[in-house]
């Protein structure tokens, strides 16, 4: 499972944590065309739910690569949005309690 993905190759946002060597695997997936650039994913996410990006994870779920993105809205709510990493299709939006 790929977690806490971020690297300057994929995004210029500074508010997201980088963990381990996952960025190398993410770059390989990006280079092979298995995932879309994170910039494109974040554009879609921001059009769905504006706010500050708190965390981005790239995970494999049932053989499908998924970006899980947590967003803090202006009213203090946190949403988790799941996006297919290859197609940018919205999979779910959930308000966290």
Predicted TM-score of the model (pTM):
0.74
Q: What's the pLDDT score for residue 23?
A: 76
What φ, ψ does residue 13 adopt, rounded to 5°? -70, 135
Looking at CATH, the fold of the domain delimited by 22-96 is given as Nuclear Transport Factor 2; Chain: A, (3.10.450)
Q: What's the pLDDT score for residue 62?
A: 87
Contact at 8 Å (CB) between 86 and 79? no
CA distance 79 to 69: 8
Give the domain ranges of the chain.
Answer: 22-96
At 54 the three-state DSSP class reads strand
Q: What is the mean pLDDT of each run of 10 residues along the chain (97 residues)?
A: 40 40 80 92 94 92 92 95 96 91
Q: Which residues contact 25 (CB under 8 A, 6 or more apart)?
A: 2
Q: What's the pLDDT score for residue 71?
A: 95
At 85 the three-state DSSP class reads coil
């Amino acid at each position: 499972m790929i977690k806490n993905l971020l690297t300057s190759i994929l995004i210029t946002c500074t508010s997201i944590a980088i963990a381990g060597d996952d960025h190398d695997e993410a770059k390989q997936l990006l280079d092979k065309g298995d995932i879309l650039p994170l910039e494109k994913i974040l554009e879609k996410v921001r059009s769905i739910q504006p706010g500050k990006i708190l965390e981005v994870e790239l995970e494999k779920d049932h053989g499908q690569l998924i970006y899980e993105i947590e967003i803090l809205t202006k009213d203090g709510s946190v949403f988790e949005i799941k996006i297919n990493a290859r197609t940018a299709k919205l999979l779910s939006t959930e308000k966290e309690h």
